[in-house]
Amino acid sequence: MLVKCHAKINWSLDVLSRRPDGYHILDMIMQPLSLSDDLVISSLSSPGIDFSMEGGGGDIPVTDDNLVVRAARRLQEETGCGMGARMHLVKRIPSGAGLGGGSADAAGALAGLNVLWNLGLSKERLLSVSLSIGADVPFCLHGGLCRVGGIGEEIRPIAPAPIFPAVIIQNCAALSTGEIFRLYHCLEDPARPDTDHLEEIFLRNPALLPAHPGNVLEEVSIGKRPEILDARNYLLRSGATVAQMTGSGSAVFGIFADADSAEEAFRASPWKDGTFLCETSEQSIDIM
């Protein structure tokens, strides 16, 4: 079985509060991308999980700490399934980029193993299991253009997901989400997105999207990685109608009005190894 695990972007990201347990209450608009990792899965009659990976730059653990393995183990615990799996992950989504690569891979493992092991779990139950693995995993399992709140468990579809040509640039080192949130709390007056207004635009006319919809973490992430601003400015100069950092960084996405403009920006990018040509997507998980 081949499972394509799609990256995501944050059209907007706001931090509303922090719970006593340290988790942040967020308000976001998110959408998958066509950029994806490939997860190849086959079943084992014993309960072992045999995991291997290629790509990813060597900074992702190929151990029980990997989110793919954690997802498989969690599914076994939840269902009492005595079967195991051999899983090979081909990484294309850059890590530490705010693109949800690890979460997408975990979501793909849950969806794929639910089919492969004939578990028959409903989407609602899979979503419940997924939240225990990571905050972005429920959305990566759900897909579509959605407003996402709480710690990632509140997912509300907005409208049919618009498909736009996109260019992704990660032109600097990865960022730690935990560190970015700590720095965010040092800001006196962070610039917050108007997520309600952005949702209205998606419902009425996505062609009117602002060039910078808003990401409350972008300011502190640029402080750590000034190259983020370089990438954003390059995309806008290259004709992007929208350019913004996604998640806690360090990747920036640019949205283009047509595929030719996106391809031209992709080919002219000075950061060849860290630039990706893709498009926004409706689906977050494809099982083949």
Contacts of residue 4, defined as CB under 8 A and 6 or more positions apart, other chains included, come to 36, 37, 38, 39, 108, 285, 286, 288
The pair of three-digit structure tokens given for residue 169, joined into one six-digit string: 């640039």
Contact 25, 19 (CB under 8 A): yes
- Burial grade of 188 (CB within 10 A; 0-12, 13-18, 19 or more): exposed
CA distance 217 to 227: 15
The pair of three-digit structure tokens given for residue 193, joined into one six-digit string: 């997105």
**Is-catalytic flag, 136?**
yes
CA distance 131 to 139: 9
Check 4, 8, 91, 224 and give the catalytic one: 8
CA distance 234 to 254: 9
Alpha helices in 238-284 (DSSP H): 259-268
**Is-catalytic flag, 272?**
no
Q: How many CB atoms lie within 10 A of CB 285?
A: 22
Check 14, 38, 105, 136 and give the catalytic one: 136
As a whole number of angstroms, the longest Cα–Cα distance in the chain is: 56
Pairing of strands 49-54, 84-90: parallel
Would you name the residues annotated as active-site residues?
A: 8, 136
